[in-house]
């Protein structure tokens, strides 16, 4: 049995995956990164990675403000994972402002939702 409670062939396949955590501000670019990371484990072939791993295992997503507020980017991450039926991936809301500069969201560029 693996860390996710999977047994049998599913557990064996997931053991060979590189564990990845995405920290992002989901707008359209990071939404695509979430989708690709969430499905990499299904598409990867043994020869697709040179470090002995077969794809990745998306173990979590944390969100920060950036393209939009942290509330909206967190909602975007949850919506993307729900859309692709990967509600098993945990999402954690992170920083609501940058560490060293004033917060600046750009709804005129990224839209009201960030997507």
Would strands 56-63 and 91-93 be described as parallel, antiparallel, or unpaired? parallel
What pLDDT score does 66 carry? 87
**Structure confidence at residue 67 as a pLDDT band (50, 70, 90):** confident
Give yes or no for residue 7 having a pLDDT over 80: no
Give yes or no for residue 100 having a pLDDT over 70: yes
Mean pLDDT in residue range 33-40: 88
What pLDDT score does 5 carry? 57
Q: How far apart are CA 8 and CA 1, in angstroms?
A: 7
Please provide residue 54's backbone torsions phi and psi, each rounded to the nearest 5 degrees.
Answer: -115, 80
Residue 1: CA count within 13 A, CB half-sphere: 3
Average pLDDT, the chain: 81
Whether 76 contacts 34, CB under 8 Å = no
Whether 81 contacts 34, CB under 8 Å = yes
């Amino acid at each position: 049995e693996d860390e996710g409670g999977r047994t049998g062939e599913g557990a064996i396949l997931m053991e060979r995956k590189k564990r990845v955590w995405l920290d992002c501000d989901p707008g359209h670019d990071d939404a695509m990164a979430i989708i690709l990371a969430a499905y990499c484990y299904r598409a990867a072939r043994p020869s697709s990675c040179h470090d002995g791993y077969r794809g990745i295992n998306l173990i979590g997503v944390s969100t920060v403000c950036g393209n939009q507020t942290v509330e909206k980017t967190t909602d975007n991450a949850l919506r993307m994972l729900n859309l692709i039926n990967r509600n098993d991936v945990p999402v954690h809301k992170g920083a609501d402002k940058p560490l060293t500069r004033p917060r600046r969201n750009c709804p005129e560029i990224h839209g009201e939702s960030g997507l």
